[in-house]
Each structure stands twice: as structure tokens, then as C-alpha cells.
A = this chain, B = another copy of it.
Amino acid sequence: MPRAALTRERILQAGIRLADTGGSGSITMRKLGRALDVEAMSLYNHVANKDDLLDGMIDLVFGEIDLSPAGADWEERMRASAVSAHDAFLRHPWACGLILDPGTPRVIPARARYMESILGRLRDARFSAELTYHGYHALDSHILGFTLWEIGHALPPGDPAELFAGFQRLFPVSEFPHLAEHVRQHMTDGSHRDVGAFEFGLGLILDGLKRMRG
């Protein structure tokens, strides 16, 4: 049986699968070729280069965001689509870091549609051009920035008690009492990697914007 023909679509899907399981460090032209039973050089027939590959993968992730959620008012709908974005970026934890990586600005169709949607809904909710400008920045930077922050602060695998002990040795309670308390909260909380923490900051932003609109 001849293997399935290589297409851009199949390459992007395989790239996402590879990154989901191995992290962004595992995305390599050579590894991706191996996953597709093909030499790395073959990929260049369907993808301009590695950046083009990453752009395509990220475009698909943005495509998973629900931009028309149900909801009674603008605030409820804005919260719902932010949570949908948060969910998508948690499903693909490699994406936020690549999107925010300075040096390679990624202008991507699905991201443009995402921006257009959020900006339009703020304007429709009677936000001024000025407040929409700053409000979008606050929302987008929270969605991408907080999610990346959250992914990086997840408890690493391994025995929590042992982890905590090693941490205490580096930063003794006597010198870092508040830090110790904070870390303990992280341990008992399980991980803070839940919708709650994301929505806490989101709520602050939405509340603030609503009050500023007057």
C-alpha cells in the first residue's frame, strides 16, 4: 500500500499533533518528516520554510476559537469568546509562546478575523474608538499573556512533596515567608490551571472597561 500523498493540510495536522505531545521544542523539520514517513526535504514542496509551517499551525489554532458565542450582553459574550480562546491555547500549549515570540510578527488570516470580531463587538457596545483601542490591547494581552504565563507556571511532573522540599532548601521560609505561603497555596490548590484564575483577571479588565465607558 503506497503511503498517503503529502499535502500541506496533512503536514500542518501532523505538526500540531507533534507539538501537542512533545512541546514546541519538538517541532523540527526532520522530526516532522519522520512522523510522516518522509524525508525532511520533502516538506519544502508544500511549505515555504519552517516559519510558514508554524504560521499554518497557529492559523488552525486560532480557527478553533468560537467568535460568535451565545450571551445576553456584550460582556457575557466577550467573556465567553475569551474563555474559548483560553481553552484553545491550553489545548495547544506551544501556540502562545510562538504567537508572542518577538522577531517574527505573524500576520495570519484566522487571527485577523479574531481581531476584527473582538474590535467590532466593542464598537457595537458603544465603546469609543479610543477606549476600544486600549481595551483591545488589555484583552488580547491578557488572553495570550496570561495563558502563556499560566502554562509556564504549571506544576512540573514529579512528587510535589519532594519538589516543595527542594524549593524550601533554595528559599528558606525564614527569609521568604510570603513566597512559602504562596507556593503552599499552589500545592493545595492543585494547579491554578483552571478557568477560575484566567477569569479572575478577565473580570477585572471587563469590569474596568465597563466603568470607563460610563
A residues whose Cβ falls under 8 Å from a Cβ of B: 23-25, 93, 97, 99-103, 105, 107, 112, 115-116, 119-120, 123, 129, 132-134, 136-138, 140-142, 144-146, 148-154, 156, 167, 170-171, 175-179, 181-182, 185, 189, 192, 197, 200-201, 203-205, 207-209
Contact = CB atoms under 8 A, between A and B. Distances in A.
Contact of A23 (B102, B105, B208): B102
A103 B182 contact: no
A119 B151 contact: no
Contacts of A182: 115, 119, 132-133, 136
Nearest to A196: B134
Nearest to A205: B204
25 contacts: A97-B97, A97-B102, A100-B148, A100-B149, A105-B156, A112-B170, A112-B171, A112-B179, A116-B175, A119-B178, A119-B181, A120-B177, A123-B178, A129-B181, A132-B178, A136-B182, A137-B197, A137-B200, A138-B200, A140-B149, A141-B145, A141-B150, A141-B201, A142-B146, A207-B208
